[in-house]
């Protein structure tokens, strides 16, 4: 494959009331992994959508190998060899992994017309593709039954099935464990050696040295600059992204009270977790560390009653909860901020106002009637308290950046006046500044007497934010450490060790 050169030249994109991109010019060359970074709202996703044919620029041009082109649709972008893997998954849950990978292009049996699918050919093609990617998946299994990380792998395989000359990846490692990230990087290096131009969006700054050749920074819809990865220090990158940014540290005044608010005793769920036993104390931020598949997400969902468990006991504020369910746990002052905010926490087509008021609707409504004035009061309160950036509370929640959507999820639950909040990967796919704001929210809640359980794949986050950290391996609690007495590297080793 001859190396491809994709150019965005003075791209401008206007939406009603805002300019998302202003004179953005970047060149992406084949044989390079070009990282595109910037805080939420910087314009990265808008630029990617334009290069993918999903959005049309207000002004500016796109060139491939010096030839000006118009990408009128995603189908046109595919024809031009541009494939995109978005952060938000777009699989059809009921179809198999193989069907999703070749969706719309399933091979037909020769001489049998257009209605008979050649399943032998389907599986042969996909098996060859996954073998080349060094990925092992059950191709006949419905995509919806896979975990988020494996669904991300399916999305990448679908993009690779087009044999693209340009591959755009939006936060591809946000749900991947470290060994899976290493496998993805090996694949990207292989594609790079074939001359593929790779555009790589990530908020994980530590990844950039491992995979990127060049780094371009957007801020407020403008190109701040492009650096060679070898000369891009974390300090320089953050300065380009935010200007002068103050990194928050865990406040020294956060004191845990020795009063149990949540006790989990011998909780078990077949093939997920076994004999889980821990206590959460008042004002405590309790971290749960572990590699993908360790059972962390399943544990939080079972505690909240969103998924069943087979044995054990959950005690909230010294009272056993019989037949845990989201309704009962909410009544007991427990809230869950789930990992997949798009599908499990928000209703994308509803407004910010409606999403902020969902969980507390019973208290907001007056005699069964929704009170718009009460809703507006709550929106203004949460907008100020959580620093939610929005132009209008009636805009669809889907129009917000990932960090602001996550704040809406948290604000929705704060309206129920919880005493315990279960945070499952609350910083997935959001920028450095938004992460610090989420951390500050947890610390503020601790001061107010609210306890948190915090699951994160980013172990350095747990060390920075938590008081105490549980280590999960193979569905069991394998250890416990004090956050102030361990480094992220040491915690990673403990999570990876066998036994």
The predicted pLDDT at position 67 comes to: 92
**DSSP of 1-61:** -PPPEEEEEEEEEEETTEEEEEEEEEEEETT-EEEEE--TTSSHHHHHHHHTTSS--SEEE
Distance CA 66, CA 5 (A): 8
* DSSP-based three-state secondary structure for 205: helix
Q: Scanning the structure block, which residue is given the tokens 């975990």? A: 147
User: Is the CA virtual torsion 164, 169, 175, 178 positive or negative?
Assistant: positive
User: CATH for 5-242?
Assistant: 3.40.50.300
Cβ distance 333 to 418 under 8 Å?
A: yes
Query: What string of DSSP letters covers 70-86?
Result: ---SHHHHHHTTEEEE-
How many contiguous H segments (helices) and E segments (strands) does the chain have? 18, 20
Calpha distance 399→100 (Å, rounded): 26
Q: Which fold has domain 257-496?
A: Rossmann fold (3.40.50)
What is the rounded distance in angstroms from the CA atom of residue 198 to the CA atom of residue 33? 5
User: What are the residue ranges spanned by the domains of the chain?
Assistant: 5-242, 257-496
3 state SS of 211: helix
- Which pairing describes strands 319-320 and 273-282: parallel, antiparallel, or unpaired? unpaired
Q: Is the pTM of this model over 0.85?
A: no
Reading the block at residue 303, the tokens are 């505690």
Listed in sequence order, the residues at least 6 apart from 493 whose beta carbon sits closer than 8 Å to its beta carbon are none
Q: What is the pLDDT along the chain (499 residues), one digit of tens a residue?
A: 567 899 999 999 998 777 889 999 999 999 999 999 887 678 888 999 999 999 999 999 999 999 999 999 999 999 999 999 887 778 999 999 999 999 988 988 877 666 788 999 999 999 998 887 777 889 999 999 987 778 878 988 898 888 889 999 988 876 676 677 787 888 888 888 888 999 999 877 778 888 999 999 998 899 999 999 988 887 788 788 867 545 557 888 899 999 999 999 999 999 899 999 999 999 999 999 987 678 899 999 999 999 999 999 999 999 999 888 999 999 999 999 998 888 899 998 899 999 999 988 887 777 778 878 888 898 999 999 988 888 888 999 988 888 889 999 999 999 999 999 999 999 887 777 888 889 999 999 999 999 999 998 778 889 999 999 999 988 999 999 999 888 877 887 787 665 5
What are the residues facing 160 on neighbouring strands?
none
| Domains 5-242 and 257-496 belong to one CATH topology | yes
């Amino acid at each position: 494959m001859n190396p491809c050169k994709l150019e965005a030249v003075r791209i401008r994109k206007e939406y009603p009331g805002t300019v998302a991109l202003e004179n953005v010019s970047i060149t992406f060359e084949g044989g390079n992994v070009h990282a595109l970074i910037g805080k939420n709202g910087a314009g990265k996703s808008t630029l990617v959508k334009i290069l993918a044919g999903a959005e049309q620029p207000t002004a500016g041009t796109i060139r491939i190998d010096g030839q000006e082109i118009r990408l009128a649709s995603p189908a046109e972008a595919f024809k031009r060899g541009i494939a995109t893997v978005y952060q938000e998954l777009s699989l059809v849950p009921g179809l198999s992994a193989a069907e999703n990978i070749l969706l719309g292009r399933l091979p037909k049996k020769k001489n049998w017309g257009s209605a008979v699918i050649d399943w032998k050919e389907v599986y042969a093609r996909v098996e060859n593709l996954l073998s080349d990617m060094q990925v092992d998946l059950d191709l006949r299994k419905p995509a919806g039954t896979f975990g988020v990380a494996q669904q991300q792998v399916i999305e990448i395989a679908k993009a690779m099935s087009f044999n693209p000359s340009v591959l755009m990846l939006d936060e591809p490692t946000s749900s991947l464990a470290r060994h899976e990230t290493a496998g993805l990087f090996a694949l990207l290096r292989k594609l790079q050696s074939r001359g593929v131009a790779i555009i790589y969006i990530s908020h994980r700054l530590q990844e950039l040295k491992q995979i990127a050749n060049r780094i371009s920074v957007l801020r407020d819809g403008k190109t701040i600059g492009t650096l060679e990865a070898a000369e891009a220090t974390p300090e320089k990158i953050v300065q380009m992204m935010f200007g002068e940014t103050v990194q928050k540290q865990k406040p020294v005044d956060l004191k845990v009270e020795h009063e149990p608010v949540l006790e989990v005793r011998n909780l078990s769920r077949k093939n997920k977790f076994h004999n889980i036993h821990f206590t959460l104390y008042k004002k405590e931020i309790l971290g749960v560390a572990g590699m993908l598949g360790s059972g962390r997400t399943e544990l939080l969902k079972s505690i909240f009653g969103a998924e069943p468990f087979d044995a054990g006991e959950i005690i909230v504020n010294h009272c056993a909860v019989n037949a845990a369910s989201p309704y009962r746990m909410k009544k007991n002052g427990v809230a869950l901020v789930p990992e997949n905010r798009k599908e499990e926490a928000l209703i994308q087509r509803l407004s910010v106002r409606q999403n902020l008021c969902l969980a507390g609707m019973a208290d907001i409504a007056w005699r069964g009637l929704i009170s718009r004035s009460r809703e507006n009061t709550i929106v203004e309160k949460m907008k100020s308290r959580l620093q939610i950036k929005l132009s209008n509370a009636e805009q669809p929640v889907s129009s917000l950046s990932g960090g602001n959507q996550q704040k809406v999820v948290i604000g929705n639950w704060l309206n129920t006046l919880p005493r315990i909040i279960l945070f499952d990967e609350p910083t997935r796919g959001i920028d450095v500044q938004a992460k610090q704001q989420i951390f500050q929210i947890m610390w503020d809640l601790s001061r107010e007497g609210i306890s948190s359980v915090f699951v994160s794949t980013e172990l350095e986050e747990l060390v920075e934010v938590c008081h105490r950290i549980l280590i999960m391996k193979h569905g069991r609690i394998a250890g416990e450490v004090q956050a102030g007495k361990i480094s992220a590297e040491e915690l990673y080793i403990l999570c990876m060790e066998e036994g």
